[in-house]
Amino acid sequence: MKKILIVDDEQDIVESLKFVLEAADFTCYCAYNGEDGLRLAKEIMPDLIILDVMMPKINGYKISRLLKYDAKYKNIPILMVTARSQEEDKLIGEETGADEYITKPFELDDVVKKVEQYLK
Amino acid sequence: MENSLTSKLPVEPSPVVVCSLKSHNCSLSQRERVLYFFSLPEWGRGGVQKYIQNLTYLMNTAKFDKIISMIKILVISDRKEKCDYFCAIFPKNTYEISCLSDENLIYDTVSADNPDIIIIDTLINSLKHLNKKIKNLCPNSIIIFLTASNKIDKDLIKYANAFLTEDMSDDFILSTINVNLRMKNSLEMLSNSNKDLADSLYRLNALYSTSSQFSGTLDKAKLIQYMIEGMDKALSFSLTCTLSFCTEEEPVLILNSLYELSDELIEALKLRTVLNYNSLFDGKNPPVTVNSDNLKVVKQIKYPASRFTFSLFRFDNMFAPISLGENFFGCVEIFKEASFSPDDATCFQTIAQQVSLPLKSATLYQEIIEANIKLAKLERLKSEFISIVSHELRTPLTSIKNSLDILMSGRCGEITEAADKFLSMAMRNVQRLSGIINDLLDLSKIEAGKMDFNFAPTNINTVIDYVKSALSEVAKSKGLTILTQTEENIPDITADAQRLEQVLTNLVSNAIKFTPENKTITISSKLINSKDIHVNAYFKDTVKLKDGDYILVCVQDEGIGIAEKDLLHAFDKFAQIENSLSRKAGGTGLGLPIAKQLLEAHHGAIWCDSELNKGSEFYFAIPAANVLSTV
């Protein structure tokens, strides 16, 4: 089974994503802040990461950049989840290497479809 | 010279103040008024404050009878009979005669006493270098040579004003001297008039340059500084005390002085200023309370190496408020070692009045600036607030939506019909909320100038077709039909297709919302010259179309329409909130203002025609030759 890492400080959102992704036969690992997310990513080598942007400790862009510039992890697809506030717009200009952006509120089915697309 | 201060300062010295007129060495030119600062030697530092009531200013009108100055005659001769002769012929009560022959004594007397007439005996021994030196020492004295015969030494001519011979009669000698004296007086008068004229010119010049400086700035601190500089130029004062309310929040006392001021003197000047200020309001409460504690002192010293001493302060002064009508900006007092003339007083008043008008303008200007800063800050706060709020709203909204999605998908168990109805209701409202948040964000982005546009060649008919197909389902569910009447051959324009879709979707959604069942909504497009576009009277001022071709799009409905009085506000933010019907129809009232801003970014315009209960026509126009290099 493919491993998916979900990193978001909003537990409710993590729950719902986990629910639909597990229903679609993926194994889900969850982290609720950036630091745990990064550590877990290196530990379990997930097949795909769903990453929130605004998080305590380390924000999503930074995690994405750290992973994408590391040859070992750079092939892991990253789906970035953003609430599209002005603060995030500022960050979005940075080179982060994320493969896809998903705007909150998103359709769960869309996310599942996108994940399946990347893991085909 | 009389000024307003005389009556307002305490005249009686307090009991502990010892005053003495002995030290008052008053010359003729200073006999008008003398100002004293007194202190007791044991006061020391801080004592001035302790003895507030003991410190006083004695305004002393020292009246000296005019001393009629005697005409000073110096006779230089070593012949006793000649000295006696001259002493005898001049009346003693008008002429003061001295006779000298000692060379050194002569020089000392000439330079110290400045005699009006010097009579030099040509038979005196050291004549040659004596002449030259005397002429240098007192160039304004009249030099008359006494010769024994009619023969005159040519060397003497360049020094001489007149010659007397020894055989002349007394009357002849006296008249010669009188003629020369009159000439000397006339010359002095002329020279004085010239000097006065030059002074006036200089003062006029100073006034002119000061007033042009005044008109060049709206900075209050600078205006006060220019005033002080102007007074310095025109009146060459020794010290000014300017109390200013307008340069900082606290009252400021600007002490502009030739020399350094001692702490005691500064305290005394502070007290004096406070007294002056309070006296301006005749016992009523002044607009700002000023006392020596809250008065901030700013020193501007020209020559800090020297120092004014407290006890020797004996200057002439002038005082004036700086005010215009009700506006009071402060007051100014200037001191000078010599006395001020009436012209000085006029000049001083003029400058103090002149500065008041620009100070008032500066006050108004500052108020406007402050209001603008406040507004800008509010605007920024609002933008930040909207952005933060929408971010904070979006996250929980996502959780609600996700949960609803999961429930409605039936993955958590079967859903009854009733449950489905309420879940759908919840879902609809989640979508509506998220629409509102998007609108708010869009608007705050546009207003902050942060909206990104993706300009590319766009055909308006493609946009119309897209919107029609996107909304026809919603329209159909309400029993409405969307028709299009598009002109073929409409040229492509450079535009952000997505934003134009947003504008048109807004207009058509509104039409759907406000149109009753079984009616028609028509979207039309055409290429038209701006002079053939008719904008109704309500929008004449806001819609400005340039000469040239425009692409005009119209969304026409048969809905409830907009009342005339509301037409102008149709594009205001949250305008809909006022309208109870719209609440039923839903929406934030942000759609039209967003549409307006998006079109303005395309150099276009939006307006509408409407009749209550008949329907509305919303128009927007975009220049056909739209060149958008930068937006």
Task: Tell me the pLDDT tens digit for each residue of B292-316.
Answer: 888 888 888 888 888 876 554 567 8
Assess if residue A77 is contained within a domain.
yes
Assess if residue B60 is contained within a domain.
no
> pLDDT band at B1, cuts 50/70/90?
very low
Contact criterion met (CB < 8 Å) for B405 and A109: yes
Distance CA B329, CA B355 (A): 10
The average confidence (pLDDT) of chain B is 79
| CA B126, B131, B133, B137 torsion-angle sign | positive
Looking at the fold, whether B413 and B459 belong to one and the same domain comes out as no
Assess if residue B93 is contained within a domain.
yes
Assess if residue A120 is contained within a domain.
no
Residue of A nearest to B435 (CA): A105
Looking at the fold, whether B533 and B507 belong to one and the same domain comes out as yes
Give the pLDDT mean for B435-445: 81
Q: Is A92 on the interface with B (CB under 8 A)?
A: no
Q: What pLDDT, on a 0 to 100 scale, did the predictor assign at position B44?
A: 40
Q: What pLDDT, on a 0 to 100 scale, did the predictor assign at position B7?
A: 34
Whether residue B274 is predicted with pLDDT greater than 90 in this model: the reply is no
Assess if residue B512 is contained within a domain.
yes
Strand partners, B606: B620
Assess if residue B388 is contained within a domain.
yes
Contact criterion met (CB < 8 Å) for A10 and B405: no
B-chain residues near A13 (CB < 8 A): 395, 398-399, 402
B-chain residues near A104 (CB < 8 A): 394-395, 397-398
Distances in whole angstroms, Cα of residue B17 to Cα of each of B39, B57, B58? 7, 10, 10
Q: Is A106 on the interface with B (CB under 8 A)?
A: yes
Distances in whole angstroms, Cα of residue B410 to Cα of each of B375, B403, B406? 52, 11, 7
Assess if residue B55 is contained within a domain.
no
Looking at the fold, whether B440 and B461 belong to one and the same domain comes out as no
Give the pLDDT mean for B500-512: 91
Whether residue B45 is predicted with pLDDT greater than 70 in this model: the reply is no
Instruction: State the pTM of this model.
Output: 0.49
Assess if residue B53 is contained within a domain.
no
Looking at the fold, whether B81 and B178 belong to one and the same domain comes out as yes
Assess if residue B275 is contained within a domain.
yes
Give the pLDDT mean for B127-143: 81
Cβ contacts of B53 within 8 Å, gap of 6 or more: B14
B-chain residues near A105 (CB < 8 A): 394, 397-398, 401-402, 430, 434
Of B330, B351, B366, which residue sits at a domain end?
B366
Q: Is A20 on the interface with B (CB under 8 A)?
A: yes
| B250-271 pLDDT tens trace | 888 999 888 888 888 888 888 8
Q: Is B390 on the interface with A (CB under 8 A)?
A: yes
CATH of the domain at A93: 3.40.50.2300
CATH of the domain at B174: 3.40.50.2300
Full residue range of the structural domain in which residue A61 is found = 3-115
| B69-112 pLDDT tens trace | 678 888 888 888 888 888 888 877 778 888 888 888 888 888 87
Q: Is A86 on the interface with B (CB under 8 A)?
A: yes
Tell me B295's DSSP state.
Answer: P
Q: Is A32 on the interface with B (CB under 8 A)?
A: no
Looking at the fold, whether B476 and B345 belong to one and the same domain comes out as no
A106-115, B154-163, B241-250: least confident range:
B241-250
Looking at the fold, whether B163 and B215 belong to one and the same domain comes out as no
Q: How far is B399 from chain A (nearest CA, A)?
A: 5
Looking at the fold, whether B446 and B464 belong to one and the same domain comes out as no
Contact criterion met (CB < 8 Å) for B391 and A16: no
Q: Is B35 on the interface with A (CB under 8 A)?
A: no
Looking at the fold, whether B307 and B399 belong to one and the same domain comes out as no
Distance CA B322, CA B193 (A): 32
Q: What pLDDT, on a 0 to 100 scale, did the predictor assign at position B48?
A: 35
Full residue range of the structural domain in which residue B444 is found = 370-451
The number of domains in chain A is 1
With beta carbons less than 8 A apart as the criterion, state whether A94 and A87 touch.
Answer: no
A-chain residues near B399 (CB < 8 A): 10, 12-13, 16
Contact criterion met (CB < 8 Å) for B405 and A107: yes
Q: What pLDDT, on a 0 to 100 scale, did the predictor assign at position A53?
A: 85
**What is the complex's ipTM, to 2 decimals?**
0.75
Residue at B420: amino acid letter:
D
Assess if residue B196 is contained within a domain.
no
The number of domains in chain B is 4
Nearest to B387 among A23, A86, A104 (CB): A86
Assess if residue A12 is contained within a domain.
yes
Looking at the fold, whether B326 and B271 belong to one and the same domain comes out as yes
Looking at the fold, whether B446 and B390 belong to one and the same domain comes out as yes
Q: How far is B407 from chain A (nearest CA, A)?
A: 11
Distances in whole angstroms, Cα of residue B333 to Cα of each of B209, B219, B358, B381, B493? 21, 22, 20, 46, 71
Q: Which residue has the higher pLDDT, B39 or B181?
A: B181
A102-116, B152-166, B611-625: least confident range:
B152-166
Q: Is A91 on the interface with B (CB under 8 A)?
A: no
Nearest to B411 among A23, A85, A106 (CB): A23
